Chain A
Amino acid sequence: MGRPGAVIEVDRNTPPTLFHYGEGVRLEKLPLGSRVIYAPDPIAPIAHPERAIRRALGHPLEDDPLKALLRPGMRLTIAFDDLSLPLPPMAQPDVRQLVLEEVIELAAAAGVEDVHLIAANSLHRRMTEDEIRHIVGDRIFSTFYPDRLYNHDAEDPDGNVLIGTTSQGEEVTLSRRAAESDLLIYVNLTFVPMDGGHKSLATGLGSYRSVRAHHTVDTLLNSRSYMHPPDSALHHSCIRQGQLIEDTVRCFHIETSVNNHSFPAIANFMQKRETDWTPADQAAFLAVKQLTDLAPADVKRAVFHSMRAPYGMTSVQAGQVEVVHDAILETVRRQMLVEVEGQTDIVTLGIPYLGPYNVNAILNPVLVVCMGLGYLFNLYRGRPVVRQGGVVILAHPCRNEFDSVQHPSYIDFYDEVLSDTLNPAEIEERYEKCFAEDPWYRQLYRKSHAYHGVHPFYAWYWAAHAMQHVGDVIVVGGERETVHHLGFKCATTLEDALEMAEQTVGRYPSVTHLRLPPLFVADVR
Chain B
Amino acid sequence: MLALQYVRSVPAYALVRATGGNARVATSDLSMLHLGDIEEPEPPGRSWVRVRPSLSGICGSDTSAITGHASLYLDPLTSYPFVPGHEVVGVLDDGTRVVVEPALGCRVRGVEPACARCEEGRPGLCENVTEGAIEVGLQTGYCASTGGGWGEVLVAHESQLVAVPDALADEAAVLIEPFSCCVHAALRGAAGPEDTVVVLGAGTIGLLTVAAIRLFTPPRRLIAVAKHPFQREQARRLGADLVVAPDEVFQRVRFATRARRLDGVDRPLLLGGADVTFECTGTARGLNEAARFTRGGGRVVAVGMPGEEKVDWGPIWQRELTVMGAYAYGVESGGRRTFDLALEAAPGLALEQLTGPLFGLTDYREAIEYALGAGRLNAVKVAFDLRDLRV
> Residues of A with Cβ closer than 8 Å to B?
411-412, 415-416, 438-440, 443
Contact B248 A439 (CB under 8 A): no
> Chain B at the A interface: mostly helix, strand, loop or mixed?
helix
Contact B251 A415 (CB under 8 A): yes
Encode B262-277 as 1/0 by CB contact (under 8 A) with A: 0000000000000000
Question: What residues of chain B lie closer than 8 Å to A412, measured between beta carbons?
Answer: 251, 255
Nearest residue, chain B, Cβ from A405: B263
Nearest residue, chain A, Cβ from B263: A404
CB of A247 to closest CB in B, whole Å: 38
Question: What residues of chain A lie closer than 8 Å to B259, measured between beta carbons?
Answer: 440
Contact A440 B254 (CB under 8 A): yes
Encode B250-262 as 1/0 by CB contact (under 8 A) with A: 0110110011110
Q: Closest 5 interchain pairs by CB?
A: A440-B260, A412-B255, A416-B255, A438-B258, A440-B261
Contact B260 A439 (CB under 8 A): yes
Contact B258 A415 (CB under 8 A): no
A223 to B260, CA, bound (A): 37
Q: Which of B30-47 contact A (CB under 8 A)?
A: none
CB of A161 to closest CB in B, whole Å: 27
Listed A/B pairs (18) with beta-carbon separation below 8 Å:
A411-B251, A412-B251, A412-B255, A415-B248, A415-B251, A415-B252, A415-B255, A416-B252, A416-B255, A438-B258, A439-B258, A439-B260, A440-B254, A440-B258, A440-B259, A440-B260, A440-B261, A443-B260
Question: What residues of chain A lie closer than 8 Å to B251, measured between beta carbons?
Answer: 411-412, 415
Nearest residue, chain B, Cβ from A438: B258
Max chain A C-beta neighbours (<10 A), residue from B255, B258, B259: B255
Given contacts A411-B251, A440-B259, 14 further A-B contacts (CB under 8 A): A412-B251, A412-B255, A415-B248, A415-B251, A415-B252, A415-B255, A416-B255, A439-B258, A439-B260, A440-B254, A440-B258, A440-B260, A440-B261, A443-B260
A411 to B260, CA, bound (A): 15
CB of B211 to closest CB in A, whole Å: 23
A415 to B252, CA, bound (A): 8
CB of B266 to closest CB in A, whole Å: 16
Using C-beta atoms within 8 Å of the partner chain, give the interface range for chain B. under 10
Question: What residues of chain B lie closer than 8 Å to A415, measured between beta carbons?
Answer: 248, 251-252, 255
Question: What residues of chain A lie closer than 8 Å to B260, measured between beta carbons?
Answer: 439-440, 443
CB of A481 to closest CB in B, whole Å: 12
Nearest residue, chain A, Cβ from B244: A415
A443 to B261, CA, bound (A): 10
Question: What residues of chain A lie closer than 8 Å to B261, measured between beta carbons?
Answer: 440
Nearest residue, chain B, Cβ from A442: B260
> Chain A at the B interface: mostly helix, strand, loop or mixed?
helix
CB of A190 to closest CB in B, whole Å: 37
Nearest residue, chain A, Cβ from B245: A415
CB of A271 to closest CB in B, whole Å: 40
Nearest residue, chain B, Cβ from A413: B255
CB of B374 to closest CB in A, whole Å: 25
CB of A484 to closest CB in B, whole Å: 15
CB of A154 to closest CB in B, whole Å: 19
Nearest residue, chain A, Cβ from B255: A412
A438 to B260, CA, bound (A): 9
Nearest residue, chain A, Cβ from B258: A438
Question: What residues of chain B lie closer than 8 Å to A411, measured between beta carbons?
Answer: 251
Question: What residues of chain B lie closer than 8 Å to A438, measured between beta carbons?
Answer: 258
CB of B221 to closest CB in A, whole Å: 12
A416 to B244, CA, bound (A): 10
Nearest residue, chain B, Cβ from A437: B258
Q: Which of B69-95 contact A (CB under 8 A)?
A: none
Question: What residues of chain A lie closer than 8 Å to B255, measured between beta carbons?
Answer: 412, 415-416
CB of A435 to closest CB in B, whole Å: 9
A438 to B259, CA, bound (A): 9
A338 to B252, CA, bound (A): 46
A439 to B255, CA, bound (A): 10
A412 to B255, CA, bound (A): 7
Encode B159-174 as 1/0 by CB contact (under 8 A) with A: 0000000000000000
A443 to B271, CA, bound (A): 12
Nearest residue, chain A, Cβ from B259: A440
Question: What residues of chain A lie closer than 8 Å to B252, measured between beta carbons?
Answer: 415-416
A438 to B272, CA, bound (A): 13
A468 to B362, CA, bound (A): 63
Question: What residues of chain A lie closer than 8 Å to B248, measured between beta carbons?
Answer: 415
Question: What residues of chain B lie closer than 8 Å to A443, measured between beta carbons?
Answer: 260
A411 to B259, CA, bound (A): 15
Max chain B C-beta neighbours (<10 A), residue from A411, A412, A440: A440
CB of B329 to closest CB in A, whole Å: 36
CB of B39 to closest CB in A, whole Å: 56
Question: What residues of chain B lie closer than 8 Å to A439, measured between beta carbons?
Answer: 258, 260
CB of A452 to closest CB in B, whole Å: 16
A415 to B247, CA, bound (A): 13
A121 to B254, CA, bound (A): 26
A115 to B388, CA, bound (A): 90
A415 to B248, CA, bound (A): 10
A7 to B63, CA, bound (A): 70
Nearest residue, chain A, Cβ from B271: A440
A440 to B272, CA, bound (A): 11
Nearest residue, chain A, Cβ from B251: A411
A89 to B133, CA, bound (A): 83
CB of A332 to closest CB in B, whole Å: 40
Q: Which of B16-37 contact A (CB under 8 A)?
A: none
A440 to B270, CA, bound (A): 10
Question: What residues of chain A lie closer than 8 Å to B258, measured between beta carbons?
Answer: 438-440
Question: What residues of chain B lie closer than 8 Å to A440, measured between beta carbons?
Answer: 254, 258-261
CB of A419 to closest CB in B, whole Å: 9
A415 to B185, CA, bound (A): 30
A438 to B251, CA, bound (A): 13
CB of A457 to closest CB in B, whole Å: 15
Nearest residue, chain B, Cβ from A402: B251
A415 to B256, CA, bound (A): 12
CB of B265 to closest CB in A, whole Å: 16
Nearest residue, chain B, Cβ from A435: B255
Encode B316-352 as 1/0 by CB contact (under 8 A) with A: 0000000000000000000000000000000000000
A439 to B271, CA, bound (A): 11
Encode B96-121 as 1/0 by CB contact (under 8 A) with A: 00000000000000000000000000
CB of A275 to closest CB in B, whole Å: 48
CB of A112 to closest CB in B, whole Å: 41
CB of A403 to closest CB in B, whole Å: 14
A302 to B34, CA, bound (A): 59
CB of B257 to closest CB in A, whole Å: 10
Question: What residues of chain A lie closer than 8 Å to B254, measured between beta carbons?
Answer: 440
CB of B47 to closest CB in A, whole Å: 55
Nearest residue, chain B, Cβ from A417: B255
Nearest residue, chain A, Cβ from B242: A416
A411 to B251, CA, bound (A): 8
A439 to B259, CA, bound (A): 8
Nearest residue, chain A, Cβ from B261: A440
A440 to B271, CA, bound (A): 9
CB of A99 to closest CB in B, whole Å: 39
A440 to B253, CA, bound (A): 13
Nearest residue, chain A, Cβ from B270: A440
A439 to B257, CA, bound (A): 11
CB of B369 to closest CB in A, whole Å: 30
A377 to B260, CA, bound (A): 37
CB of A450 to closest CB in B, whole Å: 11
A411 to B252, CA, bound (A): 10
A398 to B260, CA, bound (A): 29
A440 to B261, CA, bound (A): 7
A447 to B142, CA, bound (A): 56
